[in-house]
A = this chain, B = another copy of it.
C-alpha cells in the first residue's frame, strides 16, 4: 500500500490486547522454550483429560460434516436442559438452550444484543470488561473485599441500584461462582438475598456457572433456584469436562426470554453459524452424564480440594492473605499485609508484582488489575493447574473415594504446583 491512508481501526478496539490469560500462556511457553524453568500458573485450563467416553464419542462422529442448527443439535440442547434439571434442580426447556463455540462467545453476543448496562462485581473474570468495551457498553463495577470472601452482598447490590436513581434502565449483572479468580462461591442464603434484590429491580442475571461441577463437595447451588424468571445459566465443557480447547459453551434461558435467545441466534447465524458438529455429538454424552462422568468428577474434586488446602497453608505462612476456595482451581492472593515491604522493592502495583514474580521466581500468575481490582491493591490470581492431570487422576483412582488423599499426594502427583507455591512464598520472604 502507498500508505497515504491512515490505519483505520474501530476506536473501541484500539488498546484492547489479547486476553491476558492467553497472553501469559504464550509468554510462558516462550520463556520455557528458552530453557528457563517456569511455573505456569497463569492460564486457567483444566489439567485433566476429557473423560474417555466423551473422547470416544468424538471419534465415532468424526465424519459428521453437516451444518447443525444455529441454536445447537437437538439432542445436545435436550442433554443440557436435563443436566440443569438434574444438577441444579432448575426447570429448563430444551428450546431455551443455545450452544456456542465457548461460553465466552455467547457472552459477547449477549452483550452485543442486549442493550443495557453491565454490572460486574469485582474481582471478576478477565473477559467481561473488554467485551463490553469492544461493543461500547457501559460497565458498572461493584467492588468486593477479601474480608467478605470477594462476594457481593444483597445490600451492596441494593445500595448500588438505588444510587443510580433510574429504575427503568435495562441492566445485566454477571455473577460467577465458584468463581474465577478466587474459587469462592455463594451460600443458599446469600443467593436468596441477591435474588430478592434482583427481582425487585428486574435485573437480568447472567449466572456464569462454568465451574459449578467443580464445587469441591459437589454442592453447587444455582441462583436460578431462587430467581428462575430472570437468570440465564452459562455453562460448557471447558472446565468440569477438561475440554477448553474444544470450544463448546451453553446458555440456558428462563421462559419468557425468547426475544433474547432469538436475537442471539440471529447474530450467531451471521457469525459462528453453528458449533463444530462432531464436538456437539460428543458433548451430548458429557451433559447426559452417568457413572463414568460422575466418578471422574469426584476424583477431580478431591484432587483440587486437596491441592487448594496445601497451597493456602503455604501461602498464609508467608503472610499472604488468601481465602479457602469452595471450588474451581484458582486462588486469589492478597499481598496487602506485605505492601510496605514490597513497596521498598519498587513493587507498587499488581502488574509490577506479577512481572517481578515471573522474572525473579519464575512463577507466572495474573495481576489483580486484569480482574478489575485496582492495581495498587497488590492482588493476583493463581491457577494451581500446572500438573499432569492424567497421572493425578489415575493415582487418585487407586484410593477409595471414601478416603482422603494422603498428605504426600500432591508431592507425588502435583509437585510442580507445590514447588511454584513455595517459590512464591520464598520470594515473598526474601523481600
Q: Which residues of A are in contact with B by a Cβ distance under 8 Å? A: 1-11, 13-14, 16-19, 22-23, 25-26, 43, 45-46, 49-50, 55-56, 58-59, 62-70, 101-102, 104-105, 108, 112-116, 127, 130-131, 134, 167-168, 170, 202, 229-230, 242-247, 256, 259-260, 263, 265-267, 269-279
Contacts and interface: CB of A to CB of B under 8 A. Distances in A.
Nearest to A44: B67
B16 A276 contact: no
Q: Tell me whether chain A's interface is mostly helix, strand or loop, or mixed.
A: loop
B64 A49 contact: no
A67 B45 contact: yes
A7 B16 CA distance: 30
Nearest to A22: B269
Contacts of A43: 67
Given A46-B65, A50-B65, A247-B276, 11 more contacts: A8-B115, A9-B115, A9-B263, A18-B266, A25-B67, A45-B66, A56-B62, A67-B244, A127-B270, A246-B276, A278-B279
A11 B113 CA distance: 9
A323 to B, nearest CB: 27
Contact of A266 (B6, B16, B244): B16
A103 B55 CA distance: 26
A14 B113 CA distance: 9
Contact of A65 (B8, B19, B130, B245): B245
Contacts of A11: 115
Nearest to A17: B266
Given A18-B265, A116-B8, A246-B278, A272 B104 contact: yes
Of A3, A11, A22, A64, the most chain B CB neighbours within 10 A belong to A22
B13 A113 contact: yes
B114 A9 contact: yes
Given A1-B230, A7-B259, A134-B267, A105 B62 contact: no
Nearest to A169: B5
Q: Which of A43, A50, A56 has the most CB of B within 10 A?
A: A50
A93 B10 CA distance: 25
B247 A101 contact: yes
Nearest to A230: B1
Contacts of A230: 1
B271 A9 contact: no
A180 to B, nearest CB: 14
Contacts of A265: 18
Contact of A22 (B56, B65, B70): B70
A272 to B, nearest CB: 5
A66 to B, nearest CB: 5
